[in-house]
Each structure stands twice: as C-alpha cells, then as structure tokens.
Amino acid sequence: MKFSILFGGLSWEHEISIVSAISLKKVLGEKNVEGFIFLDSSHRFYLIPSESMKSTFFSSGEYKKCKELYVGIGSFFSQGLLKKKSIPLGIVINLIHGADGEDGTLASILDFYKIPFIGPRLEGCVLSFNKYLTKLYAKERGIKMLPFEMLQKHSPRKINGEFPLIVKPSRLGSSIGVSVIYSSDEISYAIDSAFEFDKEIIIEPFIKGVKEYNLAGCKIADGNNSDDEYIFSIIEEPQKKDLLDFENKYLDFSRTEQVRKADISEDLEKKIKDAFKKIYVNKFEGALIRCDFFVIEDEVYLNEINPIPGSGANYLFDNFLNTLLELSSYLPKKEAIKISYQYIDKIQRAKGK
C-alpha cells in the first residue's frame, strides 16, 4: 500500500503545509509515496515530481510547469489529447493545514468523489477548526476547558477576565495572530492583530508555566472504545517558551526526529488518553489527530484539537508508517443508498401519466 500526499491550499498556513509535505517525504521514504499533489492558491491541483519537493520550487512558481490534475470519481486525472487519464493514486493523506484542509472543504470533495483518504471528515473539521465550537464540543464530551470569551469583529470590546490573557483568532492555527496581553493598554493592538485574520476571536486566561502535554493517535477498530482499539503516540511535554510565535511554529512543523516521552505517572497518562478517546470517538474516525492538553492541579484540560497536525505528528510515533498502514484499513465507508424512484413512479401513476 502506498500513499499520495495532498498539500498546499489557500490559507494563512499554506507554507507550513509545504514544509509538512517535505518532511513527510523524508519520514515515509519515496518507496511508500505514490505521488505528491499540490493545491495552489488559485485552487488548481498539480502533480509534483518527488525530486522537485523543495520549498523554492513552490515559492518560485516552478510548480506551474507540472502536470495539472482534475478531481473525478475515485481518483485524480490528467488531461490527455483525447480524454482524461487517471494517475496512480495511493491512499491520500490530507496534509493541508488551515482553511481548505481543516475546514471541511477537501474532506467534502474527497468524500463526494469516493477517494479514500486519511484525514478528518466534515463533522470533525467543523468542530476542530473553529475554537469556539471546539469548546462547546469538549464540554458536551465531559472535557474541561479554560474559561473564555468570544468577540466578533463589530461587537463591543469589553473584556472581563483578569490579566494576563491570550487572544487568538477563532479559526486559525500556528500561532498566527496570537498575542499575550498583560495590561489594559495592550488590548486594542492585540484584538486588532487577531481580527486581521478572522472575524471572531477567543480570549482566555494565560497561565504562565502551565504543564502542557501533546498526544496523537487514531482509532483502528470498531468496538467499545478500549485502549487496544487505538494507536497512541507517546505523550510529549513540549519544552518551549511560554508562547511559540509563528517562526518557531514554522520550524516545529518540519520535525522528523522522535521526541522524548513525558515523565508522568500512569494515572495521569490514563487521564490524558481517556480524554483523547472522548474527543475522538464517533467524530474523527479515519483521521490521525493530535490533542494538546493542559494539566492544572492534576486535572486534564483540552487546549486544542489539531485535526491535521504538522508533519502528521510523525515525531511522536515509534513507527509512523505502520500507524498509517493500520489506519488505512479502518477508513470510514458510507453505506450505499439504492435510488429506486418508487415514489416518483407512484405519483406519476396516480396522475395517470
């Protein structure tokens, strides 16, 4: 089984997706990758040769000389002289971060055209792409969240929380548009910065030095939600500054070397994995996701869901390729619906037509 990596997209995280795809090429090895499909900012698909998977190839616009692709039932196609020709296609890995990839656009297209893919489906995208909806979803699933306020672009700028606070665009990742504010005279600038990227923003308490843990994984069986139905990564305790800016996150997305496992108790590990399962089950089947958690006074809080983590979160797994192969055997399948036209026929007969 081979994989085709889909990357790019029209979003603020376009360049990060390119970095992720280049990193994944290294991790998976060329023999396991059928092809690289690039979605550019004008929503055109291109088949990129493996040897051209370098950042300058995209920034220079050289990719436009590559074969353009079109989506069709079951595959991507190139246009020949007389007809479209299907390209060799492995299981597609949706590696488009931000809009297009994480907002449900590509998930809908791939589902519609019956193209098997690894990535969040529409419902999972909707719930994880919008931080406000993520918080509502987590609450419904019994997962603790930090208190928050949501502001819309033209609503009054009244903030009730105590400083310091963190301001985030509601539908964006990679620390883009994120600010930490320590006093009232910093509020306007932080809010203006966030509103440059989204019309809704989230404001939360900023807890300096809070313990943070990251866990990635996927479900590989149908059953009662036990641990053996999941492949879990190691739990990572990021060693980082209080807040990673965009440049640091950009470098973070290129990671390929495995990180060290967090030194935590079995009890805390179980709590984090249980929270992950509550988030994943019945919403993220078919996807490999990463959840970032806070731990405050031994209680687990969800920070955010990464439905398409940078570089696939390969650096958290002992055997990333095997994880993808296992997941590929448990991709969601829609039940077939047989259209019989029986009701139309009855109506026509009743009308004597």
Q: Which residue has the higher pLDDT, 212 or 353?
A: 212
Range with the poorest average pLDDT among 158-162, 215-219, 297-301, 331-335: 158-162
**Among 45-49, 112-116, 245-249, which stretch is predicted with the lowest mean pLDDT?**
245-249
> Given pLDDT bands bounded at 50, 70 and 90, which one contains residue 239?
confident
How sure is the predictor about 346, in pLDDT bands with cuts at 50, 70 and 90? confident
Average pLDDT of the segment spanning 209-216: 95
Spatial CB neighbours of 158, under 8 Å, sequence gap ≥ 6:
none
pLDDT-based confidence at residue 224 (cuts at 50, 70, 90):
low
> What is the average per-residue pLDDT within 52-61?
97
Report residue 256's pLDDT band, with 50, 70 and 90 as the boundaries: low
Q: Mean pLDDT over residues 93-118, rounded?
A: 97
Superfamily the domain 125-142+209-328 falls into: ATP-grasp fold, B domain (3.30.470.20)
pLDDT of 250 strictly over 60: no
In this structure, of 9-13, 66-70, 79-83, 325-329, the range with the lowest mean pLDDT score is 79-83
> Over the stretch 17-31, which tens digit does the pLDDT of each residue have?
999 999 999 999 999
At 260-302, the pLDDT tens digits run 899 999 999 999 999 999 999 999 999 999 999 999 999 999 9
Domain ranges of the chain: 3-118, 125-142+209-328, 149-205
pLDDT confidence of residue 273 = 97
Give me the percent of the chain exceeding a pLDDT of 90.
77
What class has domain 3-118?
alpha beta
Q: Mean of the pLDDT values across residues 88-105?
A: 96
Tell me the CATH architecture of domain 149-205.
2-Layer Sandwich (3.30)
Can you tell me the mean pLDDT for 97-120?
Answer: 97
User: What is the predicted pLDDT for the residue at 258?
Assistant: 75
Q: What is the pLDDT of residue 243?
A: 57
pLDDT at 90 over 90: yes
| pTM for the predicted model, two decimal places | 0.91
Mean pLDDT (whole number) for 67-79: 96
Predicted local distance difference test score (pLDDT) of residue 350: 75
Mean of all residue pLDDT scores within the chain? 91
